[in-house]
Homo-oligomer: A and B are copies of this chain.
Amino acid sequence: MYSLKFTTESSSNGVVEREFTLGDDVPGVLWSPASGADRAPLVLMGHGGGNHKKHPAMSGRAGRLVAGCGYHVAVLDAPGHGDRPRTAHDEAEIAELFRARAAGEPEGPIVVRYNDHLAQLAVPEYRALLDALQELPEIGSDGPVGYWGINMGTAIGIPFVAAEPRVTAAVFGQHWPDVLAEKAKQITIPVEFDLQWDDEHISREEGLALFDAFASKEKSLHVNSGLHKELPRFEADSAVRFFARHLGAAVTARA
């Protein structure tokens, strides 16, 4: 059982941001509405490779969910990322990725292998995070829970969601099927999945194969023209609407 200790608290534009430590050494952040947070739905997010819990992609998505839907949103630094130390294994894998990139070799095999390693460490952390957050009175143990992660956030999120029956809707995208398709076959909740039609790292066939693998009766694929890093900003708005459809309104918004 990991405990959750809040370390900082600040507030801006109706969003309360609290940093915390999960257990001894996993840093995270929880964003909540400044008012009306009681028993609101929760969305857990996973950040991309090389990024961290407070990268603008994370704080921007959190702002949309908190201000737009009245939800709570939490994210952890992944192992070897953000404020967490890198192991010798992390350093070696990152060096190998940079070497392949400089040599013009495919990045996929390295990213797939390294992200799988990180996911094996991160999945129990996310499950412990959910346990701890559901003990907070403003979240509680009976509210809807979503998961949102693209790139490495998908590599961690697919095995997490496959193992975690409390998550009832998820947004994923932009990863390879090699390791993840088998886990995706265990997922039956509604899924929205993003891929880039001109992705220079993940082929169309690979992206479509991962989408196809989800056993969800209700799943949507959003493909946009453009390179790997050109996922349009409006897909974040679409993801927020997806969660609003599936997790429902915050209780206070219903009243």
Which residues does A use to contact B, with CB under 8 Å? 197, 204, 208, 211-212, 216-225, 232, 234, 238, 241, 245
Contacts and interface: CB of A to CB of B under 8 A. Distances in A.
B224 A219 contact: yes
Copies of this chain, complex-wide, total 2
A222 B225 contact: no
A221 B219 contact: no
Contact of A223 (B204, B221, B241): B221
Contacts of A221: 197, 221-224
Contacts of A241: 234
Nearest to A220: B224
Contacts of A234: 241, 245
Contacts of A212: 197
A222 B224 contact: no
Contact of A222 (B216, B222, B245): B222
A195 to B, nearest CB: 9
21 contacts: A197-B212, A197-B219, A197-B221, A204-B208, A208-B208, A211-B223, A216-B225, A217-B225, A218-B225, A219-B224, A219-B225, A220-B223, A220-B224, A220-B225, A220-B232, A221-B222, A221-B223, A222-B222, A222-B223, A234-B241, A238-B238
B225 A223 contact: no
A56 to B, nearest CB: 22
A232 B221 CA distance: 13
A220 B222 contact: yes
A204 B218 CA distance: 17
A172 to B, nearest CB: 14
A245 B224 CA distance: 15
Contacts of A232: 220
A234 B222 CA distance: 13
A208 B219 CA distance: 17
A72 to B, nearest CB: 24
Contacts of A225: 216-220
Nearest to A195: B221
Given A217-B225, A223-B223, A234-B245, 5 more contacts: A197-B221, A211-B223, A220-B225, A221-B224, A222-B223
Interface centre among A217, A220, A221 (most CB of B within 10 A): A220
